[in-house]
Structure 1
Amino acid sequence: MVPATAAQAVPLVEVQVKGDLDAQSAPEVNRLLEQALALRPQQIVVDLADCDTIDGAGVLLLLDAHRRAVRDGGAVALRSPSERARRVLRLAKVDRIMQLLPYAVVELAPAGPVVA
């Protein structure tokens, strides 16, 4: 296996978390983050729109992923955490370390002329 170089880094990888991010789900989410980190992206966006709650294990997992991404010249941002998850992230001061993004709305251009 050839080690990744800066020229091989991808700009963005998105990881979507569904359900709770807790001690039970952390190993699976960690596996996905490991795969994302292996790509050496400039940024990993963890989509938390469908994540109801985060516990201490989830917070530690996110912080570790961010630390590892920064070490390789990247970053991890969290998108669309629920109000409950946002409260946990705020109490753990994660919002001071990682960027919290609002939900990204993608506007698609019409495929052809619009007939009224």
Structure 2
Amino acid sequence: MDELSRASQTTQTVPLVEVQVCGDLDASSAPGVNDVLSEALALHPRQLVIDLAGCDVIDAAGILLLLDAHRRAIRDGGMVALRSPSARARRNLKLAKVDRVLQVISPDGDLTLGISPDSDARPGEVNR
């Protein structure tokens, strides 16, 4: 067995990593947040939770960053969930249709799968 095969077989994962974003997630803050998310993803979490409770604004750069984190997590067998986006951030995520890709969980950890209060889905259903 070569070095690469052994290294890929011994990659360890952690069950959960949580990252809290405070302040706006925009073009000016995206590089710093990307560094933190890269460190978190280097742990190969099965689930990366990005807590957005302290983030009022998410612009296009922030949305691209979240989607990139999702892509990297999926590639490594994990997933990304967003916790507690503000009403304004949730609106921007919905307009960009990110709520169809990323899971959204409530502050207490309940999965809402991107269903917004104005959704016409019944309980247990997800609008896709």
Q: TM-score range, shorter-chain basis?
A: 0.7 to 0.9
The structure where strand makes up a greater share of residues is 1
Aligned to 1:8: 12
Q: Bigger shift: 7-16 or 44-53?
A: 7-16
Q: Confirm whether residue 102 of structure 1 aligns to residue 112 of structure 2.
A: no
Q: Provide closer, same or farther for how the CA distance between residues 92 and 11 of structure 1 changes in structure 2, counting only shifts above 3 A.
A: same
Large movers: runs of 4+ above 6 Å: none
Distance 2:8 2:14 in 1: 10
**Higher RCO (Cα < 8 Å, 6 or more apart):** 1
Contact 1:76-1:98 at 8 Å conserved across structures? yes
Aligned to 2:21: 17
How many positions carry a matched residue from both structures? 104
Q: Confirm whether residue 63 of structure 1 aligns to residue 74 of structure 2.
A: no
Alignment-mate amino acid for residue 79 of structure 1: R
Q: Confirm whether residue 82 of structure 1 aligns to residue 108 of structure 2.
A: no
Structure 1: which 5+ residue stretches go unaligned?
Answer: 106-116
Alignment RMSD: 1.7
Aligned-pair CA distance for 1:86: 0.1
SS at match of 2:54: strand
Aligned-pair CA distance for 1:5: 4.9
TM-score, length basis structure 1: 0.85
Q: Provide closer, same or farther for how the CA distance between residues 100 and 50 of structure 1 changes in structure 2, counting only shifts above 3 A.
A: same
TM-score, length basis structure 2: 0.77
